[in-house]
A and B are shown apart, each in its own frame.
Chain A
């Protein structure tokens, strides 16, 4: 017969699964307002877009697939932001699914924004003129090549349009004209490829990364370098929370659904802390209080 503290140390994982299910389900079923502090990482990412002069070119790289629920809300918020601002946009993806994810967002997103040629005028952004989905950057040669000249490396865009026929490509025939590159990165290949091939050629090009929570610590050395003006990232959007922060900064609450998921995320974070403490409590009681091994 095991003692209570031994049972505390060896809770059946199925009870833990049930608890996880409950603490995620309740905040989703009963939504409550959630206070949110904006981290400097997200604020820097937001400011990087906000400070771009009108008429600048931004590259959004969708480096994730449909299996990354943390990155999609980030991508929705950022795409809406760059559409709203008077900017030109290229969409690429080092993951084959990436441009498809971008297409899904582009189909439903609000396309009103300020005209890059006349920043006081509110217009509906047009595909081909203000935004182009260049599609999947399948190879390193393509990543290197489109930096110099897009028309040399590609014949069609994501939708099968002739690349020469797109006014935006005529205006900016190369990624080298971009002021900011934002990569939503689920893994490898990821934004380090852009740092290697693009940032080394153009020190003025800025980079922002959207990261799942688990990968964020790995981006931090580059973020610190980016803050110092070296090759690196000038902002990092971290996890679903980063998406919610971006959405809040954008002032379009409800855009991505991330804010609504925050309470569930908080609850599961606290559950993790509680079960870890319980496990350690059982361990110490057995070891020091109950004639343990």
Chain B
């Protein structure tokens, strides 16, 4: 499908893709120097700041989007709206406390914002972060152990030759990684190390190389407008 320059909503993203795609691909291989100016240095240092600024804005947009979704769910009393209400209360509360009293508060020394704001909010932030958020995260991580055992029991079935190989190698790695294996049979350790160092590395290298070549091909397609989905220029 031809893209008309007059159709700026489609053409501008594609033109930007082309310019920056070429620039970044180019700087990786060739550095242009004019006096003190180095294109590679400029792209790696200064241009990256723009990328980081856009990235931060994207996080902000994500937060707004979450807020909108849960607001709609709450106002329409959809299933589990109570949790949405909690999200609606806690996002702004945590945001305000973090901005003024968190570890990375905007003005902890009280240059602009009065110092008492930081002093009064910091203990609350510490409590919310270390006594609630951190513990909830640790609990979630710990629960994974229960689910992994249960999922392993239900999913690991030796149904065909592929799954038999996977199952046996998985069991050998698990036994080899168990710290007590030194007193059960030291051979588990040797087998596990071999599985990790040889078949695992060979497979991983294949996947990494394949993914890298695929990413390169995809990048070329995006830069030269064969792939329009990232910019929605294909109209999807």
Contacts and interface: CB of A to CB of B under 8 A. Distances in A.
Interface string A260-275: 0011011011111101
A135 to B, nearest CB: 9
A39 B145 contact: no
B179 A280 contact: no
B53 to A, nearest CB: 9
A145 B193 CA distance: 38
Contacts of B141: 67-69
Interface residues of B, number: 51
B138 A69 contact: yes
Contacts of B154: 13, 279
A65 B103 CA distance: 14
B138 A218 contact: no
B49 A221 contact: no
A144 B48 CA distance: 10
Contacts of A270: 175, 178, 180
Interface string B123-163: 00000001001100110111001101110111011100000
A276 B152 CA distance: 6
Interface centre among A11, A96, A140 (most CB of B within 10 A): A140
Given A17-B146, A96-B104, A221-B201, A144 B45 contact: yes
Given A141-B48, A276-B153, A221 B138 contact: no
Contact of B45 (A11, A13, A21, A145): A145
B175 A273 contact: yes
A276 B178 contact: no
Interface stretch (B71-79, B86-94, B181-189): B181-189
Interface string A1-30: 000000000010100110111001000000
B175 A269 contact: yes
Nearest to B139: A67
B140 A67 contact: yes
B60 to A, nearest CB: 15
Contact of A66 (B103, B134, B149, B157): B134
- Closest 10 A-B residue pairs measured CB to CB? A67-B137, A66-B134, A269-B178, A266-B180, A141-B48, A37-B182, A139-B52, A275-B153, A262-B179, A13-B150
Interface of B: 44-46, 48-49, 51-52, 103-104, 108-109, 130, 133-134, 137-138, 140-142, 145-146, 148-150, 152-154, 156-158, 167, 171, 174-175, 177-183, 186, 189, 193, 196-197, 200-201, 204-205, 208
Given A34-B180, A35-B183, A275-B149, 8 more contacts: A69-B138, A141-B45, A220-B204, A224-B197, A266-B180, A268-B145, A269-B177, A276-B153
13 contacts: A13-B150, A16-B149, A37-B186, A66-B134, A69-B142, A139-B48, A141-B45, A141-B46, A160-B109, A217-B204, A266-B180, A272-B149, A280-B156
Interface of A: 11, 13, 16-17, 19-21, 24, 34-37, 39-40, 65-69, 96, 100, 136, 138-141, 144-145, 160, 213, 216-218, 220-221, 224, 238-239, 241, 244, 262-263, 265-266, 268-273, 275-276, 278-280, 283-284
